[in-house]
Structure 1
């Protein structure tokens, strides 16, 4: 048993470096910030091969894990995404539809979450081993998947360890439609209700999601907090306020950086871009670059690749994934940022904060009700599309192109100052301070 008297955090998360999924940046920053604030941190996560084989990996992220953080990796099986036919059973080969139905049923026997439910048993066992070897003062479990909450609940029930539920999205709320994903009497709803009742804190990425849950769980409302994603200060792109403006009508680089999911209005953007080139000589002389993964997994979705390739004559290109260490370089090469997001009152995206840090113009290509608008409102170089029609998107693109040529150092500095409030540590520190005080009160 360690003699180190610093409080011990067990951080339970499925997607940790080298995972390249969007939520990994929040996970990495949270673990690092607890360590910087004087905590000993143990991360419980999946094996590296999970991400290399299924989601795609960004090895550059591993070097950003703070020194001293212990990372405990346990196996995670994902049969539904297994593409190696040699690993398929004969039954699956001969009856794939029946196999999928049976697998979904099996997945939810121990925990009500398709694909992830079977991870509960090894996850809980690993969490208990860690606690017995080196007592844990606090658990922070970061979803999704929501099965990570099971480890937190187990240590609380058996050993009285306080825990935080950190949501990137939501368990019961469909953040895109605003409807419910699970009925009130479902196993998922019952499990969340029980976990919510005992949690020391519950974190959400934006106010709309938090308010939805406050209405659903009024007894827990006071313990619910908004912890926005923010941006990482050490990765702020070098976009100085006195950056030279573009030439009127000159070539500009418009760029999107992030995962393009099936819900992202890629086709609408491409139509709006084509229309903007018809309306503006400046846009017609410019190019649009899509950086990131096409889809959730390692292999790009073919229909997305085809759509971008078809827009090649309009100077649109797919430039592939970007390692975290190269993000600043990408932003430094842009004149205008493209924030292309799915619809949904509860959708923010972590990228919006990174975009804000640059001080560059931002063109929003998403539904006006998207929660990202709440973050961007007041930004001096924000150009939201009025709607997702070709003309609505084109108008925003043309306005941003004109702004590049006219925005002087003062306006660019105002834009950077606007974004500075969303630095990641400013979002996390108030909660870490409160939790440090909580642990001091309950630890003998």
Structure 2
């Protein structure tokens, strides 16, 4: 059961959260829905929330923005835009120094070294000083009770570290991804004794809690830091609100398969296309059907080369690309589909936030990803899930054909049952218990300090 929204507390008693999220709305980058939802959830639970984030211009000049998402940020939240400068986000060639223009490779190496000198994180390390100053200024004006950093970038953990060291303020580390773990290959990225390893060990050693998006990532870190594993929690992404129920009636004259999400270079769109092409030769129903792809073509503003090459074959295979979709319009897009395509990069630790939203539609889902992905754990008990044993075209084709048959036969009642099953993945069910526990911790600390 989702906890009821508490009665707002008087301003002088509300706990104050300092939330650090480089990619906060209007960013449309990876993880932004989690940062948006988390800040809103704390505000709804009666906290004063101050967000430290990168300037809007950082996103308008690089990844692009979603203003519709920005408009749904709780108006009580104070957003402090902390100056951010990085060569990776400087796309205006007129602002490049002559040394960069004439010797870009050498200049990039030297720039990276400067950034990592402050904090061992490429592109973002140089933000440390500005973040520290901003955190101290916020605390001076409105004392902070808790710091929550959302990474990556991992420099977002710095304000928690600083306020804890100076004032004993507790902090929580929210890993949307992982710092030392490559979630696709499973390899460790930084050797023991490296600057990254030393920083992570110290941060985890002093954290009040550490959040991870799935159990496999938590277990990997628990093996690395067994003495602190009791502070680790899975806080899955979940979905924010159920997509609108569709009143489409699947037709044997042709179905619509849909994909909604970012198509980065790690997403095996080529495997999907190969499997789809083969399935159309085996099934008259699929020969009359089509695929719609919705979303950005990379996390950055430039389409990845792999998808660009594939697009030349789309039209002849009944595949259309419809571009990006704003947050407020996503629910309506799902009503266009009879079945869904969950296409993910390979990796035991890969879940993807979209899997929860997909489940909430109640539509049949074809998983075009390694069966060992963590997304498989989410859908294992779903009534209309069609996974693949491998990424060979023939295997994918079989799953597509089975899902098409299921979509044609799915009744409104069966879809409603599937939607009800997916309510377990509502984001509130993930966040509310954690927020309630943190509120109790803050109240206890206040009572203890008052008694001294």
TM range (shorter): over 0.9
Give distance in 2, aligned partners of 1:310 and 1:79: 36
SS of match in other structure, 2:20: strand
Map 1:64-75 → 2, pairs under 5 A: 64-75=72-83
Q: Which residue of 2 aligns with 1:252?
A: 255
1:43 and 2:51 correspond: yes
1:436 and 2:439 correspond: yes
Give distance in 2, aligned partners of 1:66 and 1:56: 21
Give distance in 2, aligned partners of 1:411 and 1:329: 20
Give distance in 2, aligned partners of 1:420 and 1:131: 38
Map 1:266-305 → 2, pairs under 5 A: 266-305=269-308
Deviation per CA, 1:183-213: give whole Å up to 9, x if none: 1110000000000011000000000000111
Check the 8 A contact 1:361/1:383 in 2, yes or no.
Answer: yes
Give distance in 1, aligned partners of 2:104 and 2:213: 38
1:209 and 2:225 correspond: no
Q: Which residue of 1 aligns with 2:173?
A: 165
Deviation per CA, 1:164-183: give whole Å up to 9, x if none: 00001101111111110111
Check the 8 A contact 1:245/1:407 in 2, yes or no.
Answer: no
SS of match in other structure, 2:188: coil
SS of match in other structure, 1:147: helix
Q: Which residue of 2 aligns with 1:383?
A: 386
Q: Which residue of 2 aligns with 1:412?
A: 415
Question: TM-score, structure 1 length as denominator?
Answer: 0.97
Q: Which residue of 1 aligns with 2:158?
A: 150
1:9 and 2:17 correspond: yes
Check the 8 A contact 1:340/1:364 in 2, yes or no.
Answer: yes
Map 1:326-337 → 2, pairs under 5 A: 326-337=329-340
1:88 and 2:91 correspond: no
In structure 1, which of residues 55, 60, 64 is the aligned counterpart of residue 68 of structure 2? 60
Higher deviation after alignment, 34-43 or 297-306: 297-306
Give distance in 1, aligned partners of 2:426 and 2:337: 21
Check the 8 A contact 1:22/1:350 in 2, yes or no.
Answer: no
Give distance in 1, aligned partners of 2:388 and 2:264: 20
In structure 1, which of residues 394, 397, 400 is the aligned counterpart of residue 400 of structure 2? 397
SS of match in other structure, 1:375: helix
Q: Which residue of 2 aligns with 1:227?
A: 235
Q: Which residue of 2 aligns with 1:238?
A: 244
Structure 1 alignment gaps of length 5 or more: none
Aligned length: 438
Give distance in 2, aligned partners of 1:118 and 1:384: 43
Deviation per CA, 1:242-300: give whole Å up to 9, x if none: x454123x221111111111111111111111011111111111111111111121232
Distance apart, 1:75 and its partner CA: 1.6
SS of match in other structure, 1:297: coil
1:424 and 2:430 correspond: no
The 1:442–1:312 alpha-carbon spacing in structure 2 relative to 1, beyond 3 Å, is same
SS of match in other structure, 1:304: helix
Give distance in 1, aligned partners of 2:110 and 2:188: 24
Q: Which residue of 2 aligns with 1:347?
A: 350
Deviation per CA, 1:411-442: give whole Å up to 9, x if none: 21221122110001011011011100000111
Q: Which residue of 2 aligns with 1:194?
A: 202
Check the 8 A contact 1:44/1:72 in 2, yes or no.
Answer: yes
Check the 8 A contact 1:238/1:358 in 2, yes or no.
Answer: yes
Check the 8 A contact 1:309/1:317 in 2, yes or no.
Answer: no
Deviation per CA, 1:394-422: give whole Å up to 9, x if none: 11111111111111233212211221100
Q: Which residue of 1 aligns with 2:193?
A: 185
Distance apart, 1:5 and its partner CA: 1.6
In structure 1, which of residues 260, 263, 267 is the aligned counterpart of residue 266 of structure 2? 263
Structure 2 alignment gaps of length 5 or more: 1-9
Check the 8 A contact 1:46/1:75 in 2, yes or no.
Answer: yes
SS of match in other structure, 2:62: helix
Q: Which residue of 1 aligns with 2:123?
A: 115
Higher deviation after alignment, 300-309 or 181-190: 300-309
Map 1:129-140 → 2, pairs under 5 A: 129-140=137-148
Check the 8 A contact 1:9/1:138 in 2, yes or no.
Answer: yes
Distance apart, 1:302 and its partner CA: 4.5
What's the C-alpha RMSD, in Å, of the aligned pairs? 1.2
Question: TM-score, structure 2 length as denominator?
Answer: 0.95
Give distance in 1, aligned partners of 2:283 and 2:389: 18
In structure 1, which of residues 70, 79, 89 is the aligned counterpart of residue 87 of structure 2? 79
1:23 and 2:31 correspond: yes
Q: Which residue of 1 aligns with 2:6?
A: none
